[in-house]
Amino acid sequence: MPAPINRRTADIPPEERSPLDYAVTQRDQSVLNMVREAIEHKQTLLAYQPVMRGYAQDKVAFYEGLIRVLDPSGRVIPARDFMPMVEDTEMGRELDVLSLRMGLNALHNNPGLRLSINMSARSIGYRPWMQTLNKALARNETVGERLILEITESSAMTVPELVVDLMNRLQPKGICFAMDDFGAGYTAIRYFKDFFFDILKIDGQFIKGIAHSPDNQVLTRALIGIAQHFDMLTVAECVENHEDAVLLTELGVDCLQGYYFSAPTTRPHWMHDRSLRSTG
């Protein structure tokens, strides 16, 4: 008997599972075990990707720190391969804490760095996350002025009132907020006037190949218009070629991010520079 498509594979009784269901369950469990071990042994790190200025594409506006875990063989595993399975769990909260701690340490050690860190709205009420942030702000007051917290559109809409409350508490400390993957979720427009996001990151589905897609050009222009109305900086995600970068700048996007400029790296230049100084 095939499983209904709207049920999680793990919730299907064993007698109803198909061979594919079983394979998916085993794969998911393997991923969960890998992430659990990585958290326990602190085998996590950030990969840094630059966000470039639109009209000065050789200049970095800020960096995004992207969580990575190491599997038992030492391979670096990107978030897309594990985060969908752990975001709603305690491990998701622990990863948010680890990501925030690593990002705050990078900001503390590099006074010229401006960095965005991803978080789930589900971590807002998670005490270790807030304790980590408060401790860093007490240690170095300049950190807040250089920190950007990224929350996906879909995550923000799960608890919009909590997101607004967090903004009200942290923005006076200089912390900025970015709505990630804008256009991929179902934001209620009525919340826009309450959210006060500082940055709006346009989802890559509208950006890839935009130079040859009139439909995506119209949609992206509309998203830019919304951001401009609410005085938000715009970032185009997943920029992969020169043509798209040129068109996006002409449309009025403020910043660009993607493999056209740089892949995320776990060894950014400031780490390399520090290692050279320590051995010089």
Burial of 215 (0-12, 13-18, 19+ CB in 10 A): exposed
121 and 223 co-located in one domain: yes
| Tens-place pLDDT, residues 79-128 | 989 898 888 899 999 999 999 999 999 999 999 999 999 999 999 999 99
Secondary element (H or E) of residue 29: helix 19-40
Measured distance CA(46)–CA(26) in Å, rounded: 27
Residue range of the domain that includes 33: 1-41
Mean local confidence (pLDDT), 207-224: 96
Q: Tokens 């000065």 identify what position?
A: 56
Measured distance CA(68)–CA(66) in Å, rounded: 7
- Count how many domains the chain has: 2
157 and 220 co-located in one domain: yes
Q: Tokens 């209620």 identify what position?
A: 188
Would you state the pLDDT for residue 276? 42
Give me the count of residues in the chain: 280
Pick the more confident residue, 211 or 153: 211
37 and 130 co-located in one domain: no
20 and 142 co-located in one domain: no
Q: Flag whether pLDDT at 277 surpasses 80.
A: no
Q: What is the CATH number of the domain that holds 219?
A: 3.20.20.450
Which is nearest to 163 in space by CA: 118, 199, 195? 195
Q: Flag whether pLDDT at 196 surpasses 80.
A: yes
Measured distance CA(89)–CA(84) in Å, rounded: 10
Would you state the pLDDT for residue 188? 58
Mean pLDDT of the chain: 87
50 and 31 co-located in one domain: no
24 and 60 co-located in one domain: no
144 and 31 co-located in one domain: no
30 and 151 co-located in one domain: no
Mean local confidence (pLDDT), 5-27: 52
21 and 93 co-located in one domain: no
What percent of the chain is predicted at pLDDT more than 90? Answer: 68
